[in-house]
Structure 1
Amino acid sequence: MTPFFFSLLAVLLASSIPIFIVLAGAVTTAMWLQGMPLALVVERMFSGIDSFALMAIPFFVLTGNLMGIGGLSKRLIRFADLVVGRMTGGLGITAVTSSMFFGAISGSSPATVVAVGGILYPALKDGGYGRDFSIGLIVASGSLGIIIPPSIVMIVYAAVTGTSVGALFMAGIGAGLVYGLVFMGYAAIHAKRHNVPRSPTPTWPEIRDGFKDASWGLGVPGVILGGIYGGVFTPTEAAAVSVVYAFFVSAFIYREKTIVELLVAVRDSAATTAQVMIILSAAALLAWYLTSTGLAVAMTNAILSISENPIHLFMLINVAVLLAGMFLDGASIMVILAPLFYKVGVLVGIDPVHLGVVLTVNGAIGMFTPPFGLNLFVASSLGKVTYEQAVRGALPFVALAIIALMIVTYVPGISMWLPRLLYAGM
């Protein structure tokens, strides 16, 4: 039955069938052939999403959508340009910095590409950076949306492994900074090599006004992270508070969108949440099946038979997840592979928080890795950008992102120093 199950799973994955049908369909077929009661399918799918931590997902999605339509992106980009635009490669660094800011609000990679790229892609292209570099920088920087907290992918990892959401968020700050700094450095080198002109140096009043204009939007991550680590509320409660804050800012401070557009943001958030939740429920069914039939233990032992050295295992994990990222999104990778690698990691002494950050960075790279990186397809919305152009521009950044991944993987202090500072016993 084991060879049949994995063969069926592979065939369904290769058939471009929605991932939740692949997971639930393979398990249901195997259970039927083994004579197991099929009522367990529905039971396990529902119990898999019966988690308080998962309630944060719809709130964070809605927060990002509310701020995304409320005129926040242009304010963040203007402020970032005022701060770093005068440096060599300033406009490219602005793109990365803006993606960090927007990612800290939306938690979504595609949303970051659209919000930041819609404004900065034409500016980069016309500013002397070249079309390929410009689109590559936008799709790569957009992947910061799932590394910088709050991150929906990290919440999914926490839900399937039981790891602290707060610790993961803190770890994501260090990893996201390293990841972004690698892109910033490349932007500066590219600008110097091609003699790209700098932006004019802003005055202090301009910086002050830019900060004042963007401060309400920048307050979202402050509310979320400050509330969590100040002990005011849990991550789920922080997500709910962030929705109230985002609605207030969009409706009463910026006031650039209509009631209808706000309702559209709510509808889109519901659709996104449904997509994530149904994948999670199917993954919970798969995890239960693998555990109850002993397949999880067999797979763990097979991996450990290769090596029990954490350095070697991390290399194996990175290769496996990078390959999976060519075909799957970050959330799907987490629900399929995280439970397996979590068990292996615990057995060899890998910190679950560090592992979660490494898997998240892998998932971020997958967002712009051909052939099915979602950011590559989203880039077509930026205007006259073909899939082939997006791939050509993204390839150098894939190599740079892998360098950042190696740093985050093998220098754990980068991502772990903040969690260890805030959480005793880590």
Structure 2
Amino acid sequence: MVPVLLICLLVLFVISAPITVALGLSGFTALLFGSNMDPMIVIQRLVGGIDSFSLMALPFFILSANLMATGGLSKRLLDWCRALVGHVCGGIAMATELASMFFGALSGSSPATIIAIGKLMYPDLVERKYPKKFIGGLLASSGSVALIIPPSITIIIYCTVTGASVGKCFIAGITAGVLFGLSSLIYIYFYSRKLNLPRDKRSSLAELWRATKKAFAALMVPVIILGGIYSGICTPTDAAAVSAVYAMIVGLFIYKEMTLKDLWKVLVDSAVGTAQVLVLMSSATILGWILTVSNLSTTLTNVLLGDVTSKVLFLLIVNIILLIFGMFMDGSASILIVAPLVFPMATAMGINPVHLCLIMISNLAIGMYTPPFGMNLFVTSGITKQDMVEMLPGVWPFLAVNLASLLVITYCPDLIMFLPNLAGG
């Protein structure tokens, strides 16, 4: 069964079949031609793969993100960030990074963050004579933090696969996301200082207050989500639903940048996006089940990690595996394939499931803009009209500082677990 599965996967990947088709069709073919099992098991696994309570939050978070992107929240966040840090050396680039962190906390989508912030900031960055290679690296890397900062769709999928607490992983993601963003901000500052790049005029307190008032409704979304969860008022699913309703009210009645026609399009797009994620999860469940019943997952884990007794070495190997996966595959698909392999051994070594979550998600965030196939590179290319080769010199420094953040996240568990423990985790 396993040889048939691997051959089918290889062929489908080579011909660039969609990841959902590759996973699902390979599993079905392996059962049909490589075993005596009833292929109807595929249907049972497809349904069972998404029969999870934690996944109920997924469509609401996707809807909430789309509502906020359409309702004008990104522009107001960007204006607020520029008023806050625009006067610092490299302040325009810093505002781009900071706005991406905040928008990531609203959307949970890396490509959506690049599109929402990049389209607004790219013309201004070019006009202020920022090098194009630097702009490409900035936009590609800044969107990756959306995978880490809650509400992250990838975190929800990890928790579904492993049974970890969504709320605890969300709040741990705050620390990890801030570390990622801070490392990029430090690099931006010294790079801009070296080239003496332009900055905005310092905003007066009155201008900063006006920008804050305009962005206040947008800034309240993370407070509603995390505050609702950790006050005990609502579950992550409840918080997702509340944030979607709140975003709809803000877009329609407060900012008034979304019409009923726009609302209908957002609902349709959210339904399609939800379906894509759930079908991917169903297909990956088939693959995971086959790996389990064939004992391949256990064998593979033993080969890669069986003789490893050191946590330091174990986490280093896990990082390398995930960085490679992240280069070639979507974060959600990578989690679905890798998490069941490493989770049992990680917990046996005493690694906290919440800490492991942030290690895995951080690796995949870096993979989102790692050459040659990082998705963010292609999204950024569409905005800047640069090809991959032109962007690479600007990508490498951001990659280096984010890898340094990854090492801190990996080997400083007390730092990552501080907020969850403080909240009673």
TM superposition score category, shorter chain reference: over 0.9
| CA spacing shift, 1:59–1:96, aligned 2, 3 Å | same
SS of 2:303's equivalent?
A: helix
Q: CA deviation at 1:413?
A: 2.1
Distance in 2, Cα, partners of 1:128 & 1:315: 40
User: Which amino acid in 1 is paired with 2:21?
Assistant: I
User: Which amino acid in 1 is paired with 2:28?
Assistant: T
Task: Kindly indicate whether the alpha-carbon contact (under 8 Å) linking 1:379 and 1:390 is maintained by their aligned counterparts in 2.
Answer: no
Distance in 1, Cα, partners of 2:246 & 2:29: 46
SS of 1:86's equivalent?
A: coil
| Aligned residue number for residue 68 of structure 2 | 67
Q: CA deviation at 1:245?
A: 0.2
Verify: 1:5 aligned to 2:5, yes or no: yes
Distance in 2, Cα, partners of 1:152 & 1:2: 30
Distance in 1, Cα, partners of 2:350 & 2:300: 18
Q: Tell me the matched-pair count.
A: 424
| Aligned residue number for residue 142 of structure 2 | 141
| Aligned residue number for residue 194 of structure 2 | 193
User: Which amino acid in 1 is paired with 2:176?
Assistant: A
User: Higher mean Cα deviation, 134-143 or 14-23?
Assistant: 14-23
Task: Kindly indicate whether the alpha-carbon contact (under 8 Å) linking 2:323 and 2:366 is maintained by their aligned counterparts in 1.
Answer: yes
User: Higher mean Cα deviation, 291-300 or 354-363?
Assistant: 291-300
| Aligned residue number for residue 164 of structure 2 | 163
| Aligned residue number for residue 225 of structure 2 | 224
Q: CA deviation at 1:383?
A: 4.7
| Aligned residue number for residue 405 of structure 1 | 406
Task: Kindly indicate whether the alpha-carbon contact (under 8 Å) linking 2:31 and 2:39 is maintained by their aligned counterparts in 1.
Answer: yes
| Counterparts of residues 305-320 of structure 1 (less than 5 Å) | 305-320=306-321
| Aligned residue number for residue 271 of structure 2 | 270
Give the alignment's Cα RMSD to 1 decimal.
Answer: 1.5
| Counterparts of residues 389-404 of structure 1 (less than 5 Å) | 389-404=390-405
Q: CA deviation at 1:25?
A: 1.9
| Aligned residue number for residue 215 of structure 2 | 214
Distance in 1, Cα, partners of 2:6 & 2:315: 23
| Counterparts of residues 237-248 of structure 1 (less than 5 Å) | 237-248=238-249
SS of 2:128's equivalent?
A: helix
Distance in 2, Cα, partners of 1:272 & 1:337: 23
SS of 1:288's equivalent?
A: helix
Task: Kindly indicate whether the alpha-carbon contact (under 8 Å) linking 1:135 and 1:379 is maintained by their aligned counterparts in 2.
Answer: yes
1:284-330 alpha-carbon deviations (Å, 9 max, x no partner): 12222222222222223223324121111111111111111111011
Task: Kindly indicate whether the alpha-carbon contact (under 8 Å) linking 2:136 and 2:384 is maintained by their aligned counterparts in 1.
Answer: no
Distance in 1, Cα, partners of 2:3 & 2:351: 30
Task: Kindly indicate whether the alpha-carbon contact (under 8 Å) linking 1:150 and 1:169 is maintained by their aligned counterparts in 2.
Answer: yes
Distance in 1, Cα, partners of 2:231 & 2:406: 30
Distance in 1, Cα, partners of 2:7 & 2:353: 30
Runs of 4+ in 1 over 6 A off after TM superposition: none
Task: Kindly indicate whether the alpha-carbon contact (under 8 Å) linking 1:121 and 1:135 is maintained by their aligned counterparts in 2.
Answer: no
Distance in 2, Cα, partners of 1:182 & 1:167: 23
Distance in 2, Cα, partners of 1:360 & 1:88: 31
| Counterparts of residues 274-293 of structure 1 (less than 5 Å) | 274-293=275-294
Distance in 1, Cα, partners of 2:424 & 2:28: 41
Distance in 2, Cα, partners of 1:113 & 1:272: 17
Task: Kindly indicate whether the alpha-carbon contact (under 8 Å) linking 2:105 and 2:151 is maintained by their aligned counterparts in 1.
Answer: yes
| Aligned residue number for residue 337 of structure 2 | 336
Distance in 2, Cα, partners of 1:3 & 1:156: 28
Q: CA deviation at 1:362?
A: 0.9
| CA spacing shift, 1:268–1:388, aligned 2, 3 Å | farther
Q: CA deviation at 1:396?
A: 2.5
User: Which amino acid in 1 is paired with 2:207?
Assistant: E
| Counterparts of residues 250-261 of structure 1 (less than 5 Å) | 250-261=251-262
Q: CA deviation at 1:3?
A: 4.2
Task: Kindly indicate whether the alpha-carbon contact (under 8 Å) linking 2:136 and 2:381 is maintained by their aligned counterparts in 1.
Answer: no
| Counterparts of residues 288-307 of structure 1 (less than 5 Å) | 288-307=289-308
| Aligned residue number for residue 351 of structure 2 | 350
Q: CA deviation at 1:4?
A: 4.4
Task: Kindly indicate whether the alpha-carbon contact (under 8 Å) linking 1:300 and 1:343 is maintained by their aligned counterparts in 2.
Answer: no
SS of 2:129's equivalent?
A: helix
Q: CA deviation at 1:94?
A: 0.8
Q: CA deviation at 1:130?
A: 1.0
Gaps of 5+ in 2: none
| CA spacing shift, 1:268–1:392, aligned 2, 3 Å | farther
Task: Kindly indicate whether the alpha-carbon contact (under 8 Å) linking 1:132 and 1:393 is maintained by their aligned counterparts in 2.
Answer: yes
Q: CA deviation at 1:392?
A: 4.0
Distance in 1, Cα, partners of 2:153 & 2:164: 14
Structure 1 length as normaliser, TM-score? 0.96
User: Higher mean Cα deviation, 13-22 or 307-316?
Assistant: 13-22
| Aligned residue number for residue 78 of structure 1 | 79
| Aligned residue number for residue 20 of structure 2 | 20
Q: CA deviation at 1:384?
A: 3.0
User: Higher mean Cα deviation, 257-266 or 390-399?
Assistant: 390-399
| Aligned residue number for residue 328 of structure 2 | 327
Distance in 1, Cα, partners of 2:316 & 2:24: 30
1:12-58 alpha-carbon deviations (Å, 9 max, x no partner): 33331111222222222221221111111000110110111111111
User: Higher mean Cα deviation, 251-260 or 119-128?
Assistant: 119-128
Distance in 2, Cα, partners of 1:316 & 1:304: 8
Identical-pair percentage: 43
Distance in 2, Cα, partners of 1:375 & 1:108: 11
Distance in 2, Cα, partners of 1:271 & 1:393: 34
SS of 2:328's equivalent?
A: coil
User: Which amino acid in 2 is paired with 1:324?
Assistant: F
Structure 2 length as normaliser, TM-score? 0.96
SS of 2:417's equivalent?
A: helix
User: Which amino acid in 1 is paired with 2:98?
Assistant: T
